[in-house]
Chains A and B, each alone.
Chain A
Amino acid sequence: NAGVTQTPKFQVLKTGQSMTLQCAQDMNHEYMSWYRQDPGMGLRLIHYSVGAGITDQGEVPNGYNVSRSTTEDFPLRLLSAAPSQTSVYFCASTPSGRASEQFFGPGTRLTVL
């Protein structure tokens, strides 16, 4: 299994540009999540999904959209990039059940100029 994969690894955008961060998992996990990591703030949840066709907002959803058309894929879209979105983004997947741990992708480092 490849686990959770994310592309690209690095990205530089200009303010106002849009882009999609890709996330895929091959473990047939029901739950998927997107987090952003900023120094001193831990990981903050952006959006999450409990299954194909179902998404919901996390703690910091503004400026981001998600969709979940398949179990495997959970792309994160930046609609109009802002410098405040400079961060490291992590995708994670989890089997159903509260005792299950999350599996994280390697991350995407995004810089918005």
Chain B
Amino acid sequence: AQSVAQPEDQVNVAEGNPLTVKCTYSVSGNPYLFWYVQYPNRGLQFLLKYITGDNLVKGSYGFEAEFNKSQTSFHLKKPSALVSDSALYFCAVRDGGDTGKLIFGQGTTLQVKP
């Protein structure tokens, strides 16, 4: 069965510093991986996805993610954090088959301090 784990409940980083939000996955077959962000009292917004190709995927708001097949990881990164990046981040993997279902990690709260 497909699964996703986000090992950190919260990540704290100072503004201007690089940030990493970790995600590991377990899938059978090729992984289809996604990152979403949720700002307070809002729905989820798509950030980026890995389907195939380059291991470094670029997305919205300056975020990028590194796919590592040997470590089964898909960590979200940003070179220089902004206070406005503070939010809840979810990693997700597409369920096997073509049903549109996503399996989500439990989420990581990112806190960027001025």
Using CB atoms and an 8 Å cutoff, list the residues of chain A in contact with chain B: 4, 30-33, 35, 40-45, 48, 50, 56, 58, 90, 92, 94, 96-107
Contacts and interface: CB of A to CB of B under 8 A. Distances in A.
B46 A103 contact: yes
A20 B106 CA distance: 26
Taking residues whose C-beta sits less than 8 angstroms from the other chain, chain B's interface range is 20 to 34
Interface string B53-65: 0000000000000
Interface stretch (B11-19, B71-79, B93-101): B93-101
B44 interface: yes
Given A31-B100, A35-B104, A90-B44, 4 more contacts: A40-B106, A90-B43, A99-B32, A101-B46
B104 A101 contact: no
Contacts of B9: 40
Contacts of B25: none
16 contacts: A4-B43, A32-B100, A33-B100, A33-B102, A35-B104, A42-B105, A43-B104, A44-B104, A45-B102, A50-B98, A96-B100, A98-B94, A100-B100, A102-B46, A104-B44, A106-B42
Nearest to B98: A98
A48 B43 contact: no
